[in-house]
Amino acid sequence: MEIPLLDAQRMAQDPDGFATDLGRAARGSGFFLLENHGVSADLIAQVLAQGDAFFALPEAEKARIAIDAGNRGWAWEGSEKLDPESGQVDRKEAFNMGLNLAADDPRILAGEPFRGVNRWPDLPGFAETLRQYFEAVHGLGQRVMQAVARDLGLPPGHFEKSFDAPMATLRLLSYPAGSATDGIGAGAHTDYGALTFLLTDGVPGLQVQPRGQSDWIDVPDVPGAYIINIGDCLMRWSNDTYVSTPHRVLPPPRQRRSIAFFLDPNPEAEVACLPGLGEAKYAPISGAEYLRSRLEATYG
């Protein structure tokens, strides 16, 4: 299974060629790597450092901002089960944030789904750094969605209004060192949203399983490059033209840190078969309804 390395600079220099290469990966492995993406290495290092500081806090301090119904805050080790059928709980902890909104934002006051106030630890620079990173990767995600539209024969701006205020989640992750006898870091699963943008610290563990096959394949590490994969929402949106591929994280040989950005659409965005992709296999659904169905399966 090929996981190609794409150059983000081609999105401006050769947009049609980039879109074609992206589409080939999206129909094949469902994964690709993206280099020269424009998110600064210094900012990425700051986010990893802030994650280290957060996960080193006493458990009681992290529990003050335990994950809430808006999918924001701390998820403790053992709180998630991405592969319920296996009976294994995930050996990881995480911190989630979303679109940064004030408590009096009209969308929150109106009870719009998956809108909430981010929950921050008392750490200097933590909130500011993560907000800056969220904005940077959101912008990158919007540019990649333009390439998705091109590949699917749509105007480049087709998805713009569906992702201008997304239900995106920025997630810091920490996996403790372990061995094969220690269970699983993250159970086998497919991602829920449109696109996932993942950066790791280079410690191995991430594997993908080509659909219809039993073998698992290690995802290559290219320092500084994003690992990007298609999520179930975009697979549904594309009427199964694109592939959302199962993946998992094995217990790493030493502590493993990663930064995941899950690009979900706006809550009200209609996820329905796109033009020109054949007879619809799925009924239309809102972005919020789809995300809720997936989170309920994970958290029970």
Per-residue pLDDT tens over the stretch 83-106: 888 888 899 999 999 999 999 999
Query: 300 falls in which pLDDT band (50, 70, 90)?
Result: low
For residues 5 and 33, give the distance between their C-alpha atoms in angstroms, rounded to a whole number. Answer: 5
Query: 299 falls in which pLDDT band (50, 70, 90)?
Result: low
Q: At what angle are helices 126-151 and 15-27 packed, to 10 degrees?
A: 90
For residues 98 and 113, give the distance between their C-alpha atoms in angstroms, rounded to a whole number. Answer: 12
- 81 — alpha (psi -120 to 50), left (phi > 0) or beta? beta
CATH code for position 31: 2.60.120.330
pLDDT digits (tens, 9 = 90+) for 175-190: 999 987 888 999 999 9
Taking the model in full, what pTM does it have? Answer: 0.96
How many contiguous H segments (helices) and E segments (strands) does the chain have? 8, 14
Q: Residue 282 burial by CB count (10 A; 0-12/13-18/19+): exposed, middle or buried? A: middle
CB 100 within 8 A of CB 107: no
- Number of separate domains in the chain: 1
Which domain does 207 fall in, by range?
Answer: 5-299
Q: Which residues pair with 197 in a beta bridge?
A: 228, 261
Query: Per the structure block, which two tokens stand in for 180?
Result: 């094969």
CB 132 within 8 A of CB 43: yes
Query: 263 falls in which pLDDT band (50, 70, 90)?
Result: very high
pLDDT digits (tens, 9 = 90+) for 9-61: 999 999 999 999 999 999 999 999 999 999 999 999 999 999 999 999 999 99
In whole angstroms, how far apart are CA 289 and each of 190, 241, 265, 272?
A: 17, 22, 11, 13
User: Is residue 108 within a helix (H) or strand (E), and if so which, with residue range?
Assistant: helix 106-109
φ, ψ of residue 10 to 5 degrees: the values are -70, -15
For residues 69 and 114, give the distance between their C-alpha atoms in angstroms, rounded to a whole number. Answer: 8
DSSP code at position 182: G
Radius of gyration of the chain (CA): 18
> Which of 137, 142, 135, 134 shows the shortest CA–CA distance to 159?
142
